[in-house]
């Protein structure tokens, strides 16, 4: 027969020592779970007030649909913009990171710079251009305001010739021609005579795949976009180097209601669902708190994930402590134990 019950303890040289913990706590496990859940919810609501989305990167404002902090802006543009040292804004694409030079929220376009394309400082030296590409699922498209110039193309694969006059009215008939008589080939912006030892032609790629194929058969390229000037002249557009990308603004009924009630449109970083970011808490509908102070666009709350994480750690630790206190009373044995 066993020498000791598990509810007692004894200590001897032959049997060693046995110790046991306290009896079960009077608090039931479901009650503990309910308390911990309520605490986690309160912690999350408090954490949502601890962080605001950044509203600028350097001199560039950050507004909907974009965001540089997770949970800010539209989910469709998540993690596309990166702000380095709070000074330099970059756009992620499948082909790399590109510096953002300008964002127009009124006209819905972004201008980026490709460091591998030709610029005035390169002179007659043509850099080896990389293949620029876009993720079309992110609602970006190449603007028709761009003029792409290609240098030293392989004419065995690229149709290089002066564009016929009918192309101005029937552009679809000239989609395969790289125009060697383009005005900008002989009048490069800023430095019209900087590049004199390379052949040049102009071709508008309707997709980033078309641009990639052109770069496979041309030594280098550059992009010039036409922007409006502030001067009231008959010719109010000036060329500048860069790639202009159009973007779409995803507006839903939830987002409109959120903005009308003083909130900012965002998203849940875990569930990937819409959130209206308010001054006091986040909601799936719209802000309802009294005396809502309209926060600047982009200045929103983004701390829900941190709250869940901290609440989860505290709750998990409390559950482990509870289980240790309430597990079956198994004796701890020291020394040789004789159970006969």
Among 68-72, 179-183, 257-261, name the one with the lowest average pLDDT: 257-261
pLDDT at 234 over 90: no
In this prediction, residue 78 has a pLDDT band, given cuts at 50, 70 and 90, of very high
For residues 261 and 270, is the Cβ–Cβ distance under 8 A? no
Task: Name the 3-class secondary structure at 301.
Answer: strand
Q: Which two tokens stand for residue 120?
A: 């005035």
What's the pLDDT at 221?
Answer: 95
In this prediction, residue 232 has a pLDDT band, given cuts at 50, 70 and 90, of low
What's the pLDDT at 185?
Answer: 92
Among 28-42, 103-117, 197-211, name the one with the lowest average pLDDT: 28-42
What's the pLDDT at 289?
Answer: 57
Nearest Cα to 51, choosing from 273, 282, 261? 282
State the average pLDDT over residues 171-192.
87
Residue 136: Cβ within 10 Å count: 12
In this prediction, residue 147 has a pLDDT band, given cuts at 50, 70 and 90, of very high
State the average pLDDT over residues 25-52.
46
Burial class of residue 145 (count of CB atoms within 10 Å of its CB; 0-12, 13-18, 19+): middle
* Choice between 41 and 170, residue whose per-residue pLDDT is larger: 170
Write the CA distances from 288 to 21, 120, 206, 247, 258, integer angstroms: 50, 55, 45, 31, 10
What's the pLDDT at 251?
Answer: 78
Calculated CA dihedral for residues 4, 10, 12, 15, nearest 10 degrees: 40
Nearest Cα to 63, choosing from 112, 94, 108, 99? 108
Range among 25-29, 57-61, 312-316 with highest mean pLDDT value: 57-61
pLDDT at 282 over 50: yes
State how far the Cα of 18 lies from the Cα of 162, in Å rounded to an integer.
98
Residues whose CB is less than 8 angstroms from the CB of residue 73 and which lie 6 or more positions away in sequence, other chains included: 53, 62, 64, 65, 66, 67, 265, 266, 267, 298
Q: Where are the domains of the chain?
A: 107-247
State how far the Cα of 119 lies from the Cα of 114, in Å rounded to an integer.
10
* Choice between 77 and 288, residue whose per-residue pLDDT is larger: 77
pLDDT at 245 over 90: yes
For residues 151 and 194, is the Cβ–Cβ distance under 8 A? no
State how far the Cα of 161 lies from the Cα of 202, in Å rounded to an integer.
10
For residues 325 and 3, is the Cβ–Cβ distance under 8 A? no
What's the pLDDT at 8?
Answer: 38
Average pLDDT of the chain to the nearest whole number: 74
pLDDT at 44 over 70: no
Residues whose CB is less than 8 angstroms from the CB of residue 66 and which lie 6 or more positions away in sequence, other chains included: 73, 74, 77, 80, 81, 103
Write down the pTM of the prediction: 0.68
> Of all residues in the chain, what percent carry a pLDDT higher than 90?
35
pLDDT at 11 over 80: no
State how far the Cα of 35 lies from the Cα of 13, in Å rounded to an integer.
46
pLDDT at 65 over 90: yes
Nearest Cα to 206, choosing from 170, 175, 241? 175
């Amino acid at each position: 027969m066993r020498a000791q019950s598990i509810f007692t303890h004894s200590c001897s040289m032959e049997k060693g020592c046995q110790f046991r913990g306290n009896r079960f706590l009077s608090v039931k496990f479901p009650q503990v779970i309910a308390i911990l859940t309520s605490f986690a919810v309160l912690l999350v609501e408090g954490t949502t007030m601890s962080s605001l989305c950044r509203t600028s990167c350097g001199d560039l404002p950050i507004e909907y649909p974009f965001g540089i902090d997770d949970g800010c802006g539209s989910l469709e543009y998540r993690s596309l913009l990166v702000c380095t040292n709070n000074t330099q804004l970059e756009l992620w694409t499948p082909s790399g990171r590109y510096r953002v030079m300008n964002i127009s929220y009124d006209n819905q376009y972004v201008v980026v710079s490709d460091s591998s394309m030709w610029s005035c400082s390169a002179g007659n030296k043509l850099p080896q251009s990389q293949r620029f590409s876009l993720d079309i699922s992110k609602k970006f498209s190449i603007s028709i305001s761009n003029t792409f110039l290609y240098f030293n193309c392989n004419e065995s694969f690229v149709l290089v010739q002066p564009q016929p006059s009918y192309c101005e009215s029937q552009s679809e008939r000239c989609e395969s021609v790289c125009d060697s008589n383009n005005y900008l080939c002989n009048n490069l912006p800023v430095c019209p005579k900087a590049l004199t030892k390379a052949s040049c032609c102009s071709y508008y790629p309707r997709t980033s795949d078309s641009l990639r194929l052109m770069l496979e058969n041309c030594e280098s390229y550059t992009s010039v976009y036409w922007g409006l000037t502030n001067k009231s002249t008959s010719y109010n557009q000036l060329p500048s180097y860069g790639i202009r990308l159009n973007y779409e603004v995803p507006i839903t009924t939830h987002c409109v209601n959120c903005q009308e009630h003083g909130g900012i449109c965002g998203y849940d970083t875990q569930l990937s669902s819409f959130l209206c970011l308010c001054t006091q808490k986040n909601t799936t509908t719209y802000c309802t708190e009294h005396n809502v102070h309209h926060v600047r666009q982009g200045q929103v709350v983004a701390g829900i994930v941190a709250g869940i994480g901290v609440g989860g750690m505290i709750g998990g630790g409390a559950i482990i402590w509870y289980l240790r206190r309430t597990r079956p009373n198994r004796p701890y044995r020291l020394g040789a134990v004789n159970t006969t």
